[in-house]
Structure 1
Amino acid sequence: MNRTLFQLSGISILALGLAVASQAQAQTTVDVAMIGEPDTFDPMVSTKDVVSIVTQHFVETLFTFDENWATVPLLAAAMPDVSDDGLTYVIPIREGVTFHDGSSMDAADVVGSLERWLKVASRGKSVAAYVDSVEASGDYEVTLRLNQPYAPLLSLLAFSNSAAVVYPEEILDDRIEDVVGTGPYEIADYVPDQYIQLVRFDGYTQPGGAAERKQIPDEIRFVPVADPNTRAEGLLSGQFDFADSLSTESYDRLEASDVAEPLMLEPFGWPVFAMNRNKGMMTDIEIRRAVQAALPFDDMLYAAFGDEKFYQVDGALFPEGWVWNNDGGVELYNQNDIEAASKHLEEAGYDGTPLRILTSRQYEFHYQMALVAEMALEASGFEVEMDVVDWATLAERRNNPDLWDIYITHSPFLPEPALISSFSAKALEGWDEPAKNEIYTRFITETDPAVRKEIFKELQTELYEDVGFIKVGNFNSLQGKSRAMEGVAPSPWPQFWNASVAE
């Protein structure tokens, strides 16, 4: 009988211990609700935000951005030594950095990774023609030699999107299935459509300075939740500590909640109607001008966001207060002119072929803008075919120019205009037009900041005149977090290595 009592007491003690351990684990776990899940853990080959948000926690680049968008070292030991002619970059590499497989990083890993980035990444391809060589000039030193100055190079090397991340040279291939990084967290478990579990990498070596990653949570769990209302409800109930990309209707409830609070990134970025310049009707400039003339951006933004505190009707590619802000071409913005659009269609000899708009409801504001656009385009004389799919399917279909004429996406405001991938002739849109290419080449090879500003105004003007892509306006991004969470700031790509959740 005493032994039975002892056993029962032992079970009780064990259960209590497990409960305490479980509670402790819950206190060091950050649960994040996202619009979907990455289709790859290799950020070199993707420009999707859902990929960048997750992968930045376990793979790293030579440089990164601080809170003011200044470039700072991450895997590099210091900023590069750049030759006076802007053609040679000597980059010191940090010693003692360990990959998740236990191997040590050196210059050979960096060289191999950069060579792969130039070959397979869309942003890497955009700079590849300017790079003559990448070589190890020491065990912990890499030298890049260019054939022309390339002003955006460091911004490209710092960006987490289509990222120049560093892998062990042994795993480098056109496709990498099992990603091995140097980041503060590593993948512990992945259950498709349920969660991605990251755990602290105990062998992490801190970069220090503005790039510090404190590794506060033991675990970060990313959960795909397609519906924005479900993400908000999960946040309000305490199921999630953070929720990304919430609908504006959630703002008041979050603000009134004792559990959660809204995070507003203002201004965040701009919705984009990307035009298929590779195939189909959008190769005709009169058709593109018809679309540009027809779209009522005031109505589209109101339908998408509902309250002017969430958006601005603004045609400049960068908002007021940014160094790149200018008025080039903006007289062609927000024409909302059905008659002018119809004349462009008549000039094009439009034959009634359906205009195919590819969009998704996982970003609900994309879909709401598409509905208003559909009505205006039909009033102008277009036949419109809406293809509404989930975001993963959209990301797949946009790779095939046979399947769409316009797809709807968005971009945050970025510190360097060359990071806007749509300007590149190699982007999915295929804006490969001689006048634009000439301006763009001058822009990226000019190193004088004042001259670059003037050239960018030319580029923005050409965007409107040739209808390279269509900016709808500015919008503010709504995210939400637990009121008990600290260490996470509003960001296009929120980071959770410094996050803490109070009891």
Structure 2
Amino acid sequence: MKNSVRILLSTAVALVCIGGPAVADPMRGGVVDVATIGEPPTLDPVSSTADLVGIISQHMFETLYTFDKNWAVTPLLAAAMPKVSADGTVYTIELRPGVTFHDGTAMTSKDVVASLQRWLKIGSRGKQVAANVVSIEPAGDLAVKITLKSAYAPLTAFLAFNNSAAIVIPAANNEDTLTKFVGTGPYMLKERKPDQYVQLVRFPGYASRAGDPDGYGGARKQYLDEIRFVPVPDANTRVEGAVAGQFGYVDSLPIESFARVKAGKDVPMMLKPFGWPMFVMNTKQGVLADLGLRKAIQAALAPEDMLTAAFGSKEFFAVEGSMYPKDYVWATDAGTDAYKPQGDTAAASALLKKANYDPSKPIRILTSRQYEFHYKMALVAQEYLKAAGFAVQLDVVEWATLIQRRADPALWDIYITHSPFLPEPALIGFMSDAAPGWWTSPAKTAAIGAFNTETDPAKRLKLWAEVQKVIYAEAPAFKVGNFNALAAKSPKLEGVAAAPWPYFWNAWLEK
């Protein structure tokens, strides 16, 4: 079973390969400042689905598995891919010997079991898996056994993902709110000064995998002495920093700044296609708990105009309703008749009238200018929703504040976010009943349940099409389209690949 799932993941490679170049004996030393979109809400990747948290914390904490340069699941803290019983319900995972935590203690199965149980309890993606878990227990000092109620095809992908991540920490530190940031990663936390930097330094006791670097997998070399993640919330300030060569790496630049960045001191890095912006709807509480009003939103929005406002030239975006681009193995047109590039104001108005919408209750759109394209799409969306008959309230906040507010269903009706194209559809945020938006329904449960328990790759493709039909029928979120991502790096910084979650092990500075 595991081989067929691995093959399916590895064929999803319209995803940009994430392997860095192999170079003999780069120089050790140096400090790299990484400009990020803002202050991370936490450094605990279990408790957060924010990409910023995953970008920083992946240097400190590690998971049993990760993704290689072709987006296939590959071992990290695990010694090998799991041994899976014939019925797909028992996974035995051997652990790598000689792995130590930043506090000097050795990693054992006791730590892994406690960490996975914490993940199942508090991680949004862990909660997705938890419903199907019978037990997690040691199988000796360096092995764990996971017993499931039924076969669960995406398990290793969940264990590999760095977002709401199944990190391994010392069992002694196992608490709901993490206060000791001790992992096994190549870099460890030295200091955090809110709104100034998160400072990571080389962990001298790090046990790298053998072999060559391979995407997020393979060897993780510690060439840099120190990595500092510096919050730069204003997008224009990040652009000017890239032009001036102020940082070693600048993340999440407005795509329309490509020409300006190219003419500056830093080297632009384009990830094409990167992912998809989305409007997530609050299906739990408020006006959009009404399916009729969500369908009215779906009809009213004009993806092409929103994408044009956000990204400018069509070379940077594509108007496409499928949850995956056409070259991906998961691409399907199922259900996308509801996706109208120009929107349909008349249809939206009719749906509003049918649902008896009360215009004294505005649609509260939660967004941030730290991702400037989110804000630009919100402005366009506001006008189309008003034209259809909605009252609209834009709540523009810092990204960290948005992350906090979206956890409270009383505070918003739509929040704007984005996601890279993920190698396993089960990883998409709103697939979880517990994710903000809180989409649940009998149709969702049935469609996703069938998809997750099927292990045959060809059958899973057909079942994903059924899931996408339910997404469009129940409108828990609105996919705007596809877009490219832009970052920039110093010409002296080598060994960094364009990646959805940039990483700086295997990176070095030319002297």
TM-score (ref. length: structure 1): 0.94
Structure 1 residue 235: Cα displacement: 2.1
Equivalent-residue separation in structure 1 for 2:253 and 2:142 (angstroms): 44
Equivalent-residue separation in structure 1 for 2:457 and 2:28 (angstroms): 49
Structure 1 residue 33: Cα displacement: 0.2
Equivalent-residue separation in structure 2 for 1:466 and 1:203 (angstroms): 50
CA deviation profile, 1:180-238 (whole Å, cap 9, x unmatched)? 10000001111110011111000001122432111110110110000111112112222
Work out which of the residue numbers 207, 218, 222 in structure 2 matches 1:215: 222
State the one-letter code of the partner of 1:137: A
Specify the SS of the correspondent of 2:139.
Answer: strand
Equivalent-residue separation in structure 1 for 2:464 and 2:28 (angstroms): 49
Match of 2:296 in 1: 290
Which stretch shifts more, 481-490 or 362-371?
481-490
- Between structure 1 and structure 2, the one with the greater Rg is 1
| Residue pair 1:358, 1:394 contacting (<8 A) in 2 also | yes
Match of 1:249 in 2: 256
The answer on 1:460 being equivalent to 2:468 is yes
Equivalent-residue separation in structure 2 for 1:449 and 1:181 (angstroms): 34
Match of 1:494 in 2: 502
Specify the SS of the correspondent of 2:378.
Answer: helix
Structure 1 residue 498: Cα displacement: 1.2
Specify the SS of the correspondent of 2:195.
Answer: coil
The answer on 1:270 being equivalent to 2:276 is yes
Specify the SS of the correspondent of 1:267.
Answer: strand
Match of 1:440 in 2: 448
State the one-letter code of the partner of 2:309: A
Equivalent-residue separation in structure 2 for 1:467 and 1:231 (angstroms): 34
Work out which of the residue numbers 34, 37, 43 in structure 2 matches 1:35: 37
Match of 1:449 in 2: 457
State the one-letter code of the partner of 2:489: K
Q: Against the structure 1 CA distance between its residues 141 and 216, is the aligned structure 2 distance closer, same or farther, given a 3 Å change threshold?
A: same
Work out which of the residue numbers 257, 260, 267 in structure 1 matches 2:266: 260
Structure 1 residue 239: Cα displacement: 1.6
Equivalent-residue separation in structure 1 for 2:484 and 2:445 (angstroms): 31
Match of 2:129 in 1: 127
The answer on 1:162 being equivalent to 2:167 is no
CA deviation profile, 1:17-71 (whole Å, cap 9, x unmatched)? xxxxxxxx99611110000122211111110011000000010000110111111
State the one-letter code of the partner of 1:300: M
Structure 1 residue 464: Cα displacement: 0.9
Gaps of 5+ in 1: 1-24
Match of 1:348 in 2: 355
Structure 1 residue 437: Cα displacement: 1.2
Structure 1 residue 429: Cα displacement: 0.8
CA deviation profile, 1:241-267 (whole Å, cap 9, x unmatched)? 11000012321022223x211111100
| Residue pair 2:406, 2:436 contacting (<8 A) in 1 also | yes
Residue pairs, 1:284-433, within 5 angstroms: 284-334=290-340, 336-352=343-359, 353-433=361-441
State the one-letter code of the partner of 2:190: A
CA deviation profile, 1:316-338 (whole Å, cap 9, x unmatched)? 00001111000001111025111
| Residue pair 1:27, 1:502 contacting (<8 A) in 2 also | no
Equivalent-residue separation in structure 2 for 1:422 and 1:489 (angstroms): 28
| Residue pair 2:28, 2:223 contacting (<8 A) in 1 also | no
| Residue pair 1:263, 1:479 contacting (<8 A) in 2 also | yes
**Bigger fraction of residues in helix:** 1
Residue pairs, 1:108-257, within 5 angstroms: 108-209=110-211, 210=214, 211-257=218-264
State the one-letter code of the partner of 1:61: T
CA deviation profile, 1:420-457 (whole Å, cap 9, x unmatched)? 02022222111101111110110111111111110110
Equivalent-residue separation in structure 2 for 1:426 and 1:293 (angstroms): 26
CA deviation profile, 1:139-191 (whole Å, cap 9, x unmatched)? 10101111100100000000011000001101101111111100000011111
| Residue pair 1:185, 1:198 contacting (<8 A) in 2 also | yes
Runs of 4+ in 1 over 6 A off after TM superposition: none
Match of 1:69 in 2: 71
Equivalent-residue separation in structure 2 for 1:86 and 1:296 (angstroms): 44
Paired-residue identity, %: 55
Match of 1:3 in 2: none
| Residue pair 1:272, 1:471 contacting (<8 A) in 2 also | yes
Match of 1:469 in 2: 477
Equivalent-residue separation in structure 2 for 1:194 and 1:492 (angstroms): 23
| Residue pair 1:63, 1:154 contacting (<8 A) in 2 also | yes
TM-score (ref. length: structure 2): 0.92
Specify the SS of the correspondent of 1:189.
Answer: strand
> What value does the CA root-mean-square deviation take over the aligned residues?
1.2
